[in-house]
Structure formats: structure tokens, C-alpha cells
């Protein structure tokens, strides 16, 4: 049984029509395909579904679901950014779109001591000036290490521990408040670190990481094993790393492999994830989301 529930498209920062992903999935023997475009955010950016296209996205996924019923199980989801002061509650997006599942992810981190500034900017600033809003948020994802380093400098004054702590605490708040179906790539903060600012096994980092793992266990959310860093050559491990997956196994946390596809051919780039899970005897692998 092949499935993937972490899928982008031309509606956000991916390439290709939704239908091209469906055709690829069917041709490659998938039994289920979930779409999880980046949720709209209220400031200019080049990665999320635009607010005015959100319902078109939902309706198109639903139409494909009906059209392909019996051939492949298509599901309507969304990868939602939890951003303090900006996007804290997922309910409206879930209800407006009629979503079947959510992936909760953190890619954008304001300084927790300065969330009010961001909240006010989003609420009051109009027109061209809105271009300034992203400069108040640390963007930890995307292809450029330079963006990560600049954000760390401007928003956290190069204090990596403060930035990493904000990342994990933001995820914890997201899990507690929204209980997303799946928690996406929850150690992605390491992607552009490349062992420059800290090592994965440093105690302060491990403590923050394990606090989130514990919260995922308590919340009943599914933890994602995301393969994108590997096939994009941006990281040498899954998100989260193998050693963390082993720890998660001891806590019986359910995991779901997601390729975070941004083009149809990414859909089956599993990068040995299932083999690894089998090798370590992982006990709770979810292959089809329980609906």
C-alpha cells in the first residue's frame, strides 16, 4: 500500500496541477493521496495559497476526489503554519475549507518577546508597506541558508538557543491549541544549521526536542517522518532524525511518512523510510490516515 499525504501543487509553492499528482499516484500504485497546500497567511509571501484562491483549491480537490472515487482515495488537507499573533487557531480554515485533515507545521518564527509588534503590523499596515511584515519573522525553511542566517541575526540577534527555543515552544503551543492530525517535520530547525551553531546531541537541544516528542505523545497527534531534506540534498537525515525516531518508538508514537512533494515525481521519494522503520522494528506506522 503506497500513500502520501504531504503534497503541494501550483496553488502554493509546488509545480503542476493537482490532476498531474493524481495521475502520477495512480500510475505508481498509490491507494491514497492527500493534498496539503500551504495555508494562506495574512502577509505577502511566495509560498502559500493566496487567500482568494483557498476555496478554489478546496473545491478542486473535492472534485478530483469524486471523479477518481474507487480508483484512489483522495483527501483534502492543508499544511497550516502556526504563527503566534498571526495564525493561532486552525478552526476557521478547517471549517471554511471542509478539511479532512491538517498538517501543523512551523516555518515562520517571530521573536516571542515581540509578538505584539507583528500582531499590530498584520492588523493595521496596508498596501506596499505590508512587504515589511516578513522581516519580523524568522523563516527557517526554503532553499537558502543565507535567509536562515539573516533571520537569526535580525530577529534573535544571533542567539541560536533563543531561536531554537522559540521554534520548539511555538510547536508545543500549536499542538496544545490545535491538535493537528499530523505534526510536520518537527526538527526542521536543524536544516540550515549544518552543525554550525549547535550539535544535535547537545543537552539543551535534546531537552527541547524531547519536550515536543512528549507533547506529541500526550496529544495523540501523528508525527510525520519527512523525506524532503534527503532527496533535495539539504539534509542528511529524515525530519525528525533517525535517533529521534528510535526514541519515539519507545514511546509508541504513531508515525506517517510524508515526502512533502512539490512536483508529481516527488510523491514516491520515500528515501528508504519504510525500510528504516522495518529495520528498527517501529511499532506504530500509520500508512493510511484513519478517517
Least distance (Å) between residue 14 CB and Zn ion: 9
Distance CA 30, CA 105 (A): 25
Single out the segment in contact with Zn ion by CB under 5 A; choices: 64-72, 77-85, 156-164, 240-248: 77-85
Main-chain phi, psi angles of 226, to 5 degrees: -100, 130
105 is a contact residue toward Zn ion (CB under 5 A): yes
Give the count of residues interacting with Zn ion (CB under 5 A).
3
Do 9 and 35 form a contact (C-beta atoms < 8 A)? Answer: yes
Looking at the Cβ atoms of 34 and 163, the one nearer to Zn ion is: 34
260 is a contact residue toward Zn ion (CB under 5 A): yes
Burial 201-232 (b: 16+ CB within 10 A, else e): eeeebeebbeebbebbeebebbbbbbbbbbbe
Looking at the Cβ atoms of 60 and 79, the one nearer to Zn ion is: 79
Do 87 and 133 form a contact (C-beta atoms < 8 A)? Answer: no
224 is a contact residue toward Zn ion (CB under 5 A): no
Dmax (CA) of the chain: 54
170 is a contact residue toward Zn ion (CB under 5 A): no
187 is a contact residue toward Zn ion (CB under 5 A): no
Return the C-alpha cell found at 167: 521554534
Least distance (Å) between residue 80 CB and Zn ion: 10
Looking at the Cβ atoms of 79 and 271, the one nearer to Zn ion is: 79
- Sites of contact with Zn ion (CB under 5 A): 79, 105, 260
Amino acid at each position: 500500500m503506497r500513500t502520501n499525504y504531504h503534497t503541494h501543487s501550483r496553488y502554493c509553492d509546488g509545480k503542476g496541477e493537482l490532476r498531474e499528482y493524481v495521475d502520477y499516484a495512480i500510475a505508481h500504485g498509490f491507494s491514497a493521496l492527500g493534498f496539503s497546500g500551504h495555508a494562506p497567511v495574512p502577509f505577502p509571501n511566495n509560498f502559500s495559497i493566496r487567500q482568494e484562491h483557498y476555496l478554489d483549491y478546496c473545491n478542486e480537490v473535492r472534485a478530483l476526489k469524486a471523479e477518481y472515487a474507487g480508483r484512489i482515495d483522495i483527501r483534502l488537507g492543508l499544511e497550516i503554519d502556526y504563527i503566534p499573533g498571526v495564525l493561532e487557531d486552525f478552526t476557521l480554515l478547517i471549517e471554511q475549507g471542509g478539511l479532512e485533515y491538517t498538517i501543523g507545521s512551523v516555518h515562520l518564527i517571530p521573536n516571542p518577546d515581540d509578538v505584539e509588534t507583528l500582531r499590530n503590523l498584520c492588523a493595521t499596515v496596508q498596501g506596499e508597506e505590508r512587504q515589511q511584515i516578513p522581516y519580523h519573522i524568522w523563516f527557517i525553511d526554503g532553499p537558502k541558508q543565507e535567509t536562515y542566517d539573516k533571520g537569526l541575526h535580525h530577529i534573535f540577534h544571533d542567539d541560536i538557543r533563543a531561536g531554537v527555543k522559540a521554534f520548539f515552544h511555538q510547536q508545543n503551543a500549536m499542538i496544545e491549541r490545535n491538535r493537528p492530525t499530523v505534526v510536520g517535520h518537527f526538527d526542521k530547525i536543524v536544516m540550515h544549521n549544518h552543525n554550525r551553531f549547535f550539535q544535535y546531541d547537545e543537552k539543551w537541544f535534546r531537552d527541547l526536542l524531547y519536550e515536543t516528542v512528549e507533547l506529541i505523545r500526550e496529544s495523540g497527534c501523528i508525527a510525520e517522518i519527512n523525506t524532503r531534506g534527503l532527496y533535495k540534498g539539504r539534509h542528511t537525515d529524515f525530519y525528525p532524525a533517525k535517533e529521534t525516531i528510535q526514541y519515539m518508538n519507545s514511546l509508541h508514537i504513531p508515525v506517517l511518512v510524508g515526502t512533502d512533494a512539490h512536483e508529481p515525481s516527488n510523491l514516491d521519494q520515500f528515501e528508504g523510510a519504510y525500510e528504516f522503520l522495518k529495520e528498527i522494528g517501529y511499532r506504530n506506522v500509520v500508512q493510511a490516515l484513519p478517517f
